[in-house]
Amino acid sequence: MSSPRTRKLTRPAVAVIPLTVVLALAGCSSSDNDEPSSAGDVTYPTVPFTAPGEGISLGHDDQEIGDTIPEPLHVGSITPIAADRLLGVEGGFGQLELSVNVIDPKTGVAESRITVGPGIWDPVIHGFVGDSAEDPAVLAAEVWRPRGSRGAADFTVSTYSGNLLEPAEVMLPDVARVHSRPGSNAVTSDGKFFVTWDDGLYGIRVVDLEKKEATGALQIVGCGPFTWMVDHELYSVCEDSRELLHVTIGDDGVPKETARSKVLPEDFVSTRKVTWASEAQKALLVSENGDVYVFDFSNGLPQEGVKPIGNAGQDSGRFSENVINADATRLAIAYTDTAIHPDSARGGSLVKIDLSDATTFAPVKSLTLADLGLTDIKSMTFSVDGATFYVLGTGPEVEGSAPQKIVGYNASTGEQVSSVDVSGNVGDVSGLITPEVLR
């Protein structure tokens, strides 16, 4: 019987298009030199893959079928993700496989595509700005489900780079259950550790991406599930005790609780999703009662009482998704068309986004569907440098077709700077992700 690792390595490779990885794989005939096998035995030739040579096309051009059978498998290298790109995720909640498009938000063109296998609640996907094909491009916490009697599911943390046929995989313990809400997991700024809150552990689990192994875990009941990371220092909340939490990830990848600070107000209510301003080392938390907190962890745990900068509640509809830019100068909050909580099955549709100052909560720009030129709102994010605010949604129907659009705004002034149709994708894009800068 094969071990779980053997089983993983034999999983079919992921096909990615265009101009990223292209398969030119032919039939499975055996050579004349194959050793005779007993009845019922089936053997398959091993087909190594190589870089494309002269006359070998990748992606959209046809190429002549050669005399070599089976045909050589040619594979190209991933195009590094540039700092002015966004990631557009096709599909969403609970799907076994999702495709991640690298999109130029100025043209709307999806330039390359990477397919990952989250298979858990909200997808756990991180993208990274890179200089070369060998730099990490996309990391995903994945679940590879069993079929028939093959045994338990395989939980992995996979980093896609290079030719994408050989992702760097770290096998997680069978008991691991990665918490998947946005803000509950992170990659350290040096790219060394993947850190996540674990639903089965009720605590923090650490994966060393360089050593390719799970290195430590720490149970902390009553805290989390947020991973605001400053280098190897993790910050989170403990709602019941009204504390902010500090956990240090050692060089050996073992997490240890360092300190707590009881600075949250008595009426503090936590939430499910949070975001992070990487340059300013500040965290945005919009609580379930609407209070808007911007925590400053640039000097460690705050020692004085923390107060909200405002409240997101409005009579017109319920506040929903939120995001803060890299230097913590602007934040955006989306609103539904009903007062029902957006996580409810009848929570309404997103119809407005308010762009605000991230220090004073003073309004900068209010963007309705009419202002955006969209019929719905799918997702929103800031550019890597935080200077541009982008909204993904569906444009008006034209000749029976409604294109997806990405609309860009100057984050400082709220003035529109771009509006483009999304193209080159296979399925509809449901979410935007800002790639991270590893230092």
Summarize pLDDT for 200-213 with one digit per residue, the tens.
899 999 999 999 99
Instruction: Report residue 273: phi and psi, to 5°.
Output: -130, 140
Is pLDDT at 2 greater than 50 in this prediction?
no
Instruction: Report residue 236: phi and psi, to 5°.
Output: -155, -170
Burial zone of 49 (CB within 10 Å; 0-12 exposed, 13-18 middle, 19+ buried): middle
CA R_g for the chain: 24
Q: Which residues have a Cβ under 8 Å from the Cβ of 387 and sit 6 or more positions away?
A: 325, 410, 411, 412
Beta bridge mates, 207: 194, 214
Q: How does pLDDT run across 118-137, given as a tens digit for each residue?
A: 877 789 999 999 999 999 99
- In whole angstroms, give the CA distance from residue 439 to residue 437: 6
- In whole angstroms, give the CA distance from residue 70 to residue 78: 25
Cβ contact 283:274 at 8 Å: yes
- In whole angstroms, give the CA distance from residue 353 to residue 33: 67
Best CA proximity match to 392, nearest among 89, 120, 100: 89
Of residues 214 and 50, the one with the higher pLDDT is 214
Percent of the chain with pLDDT over 90: 68
Q: How does pLDDT run across 322-360, given as a tens digit for each residue?
A: 999 999 999 999 999 988 776 666 778 899 999 999 999
Burial zone of 314 (CB within 10 Å; 0-12 exposed, 13-18 middle, 19+ buried): middle
Is pLDDT at 415 greater than 70 in this prediction?
yes
3-state secondary structure of 370: helix
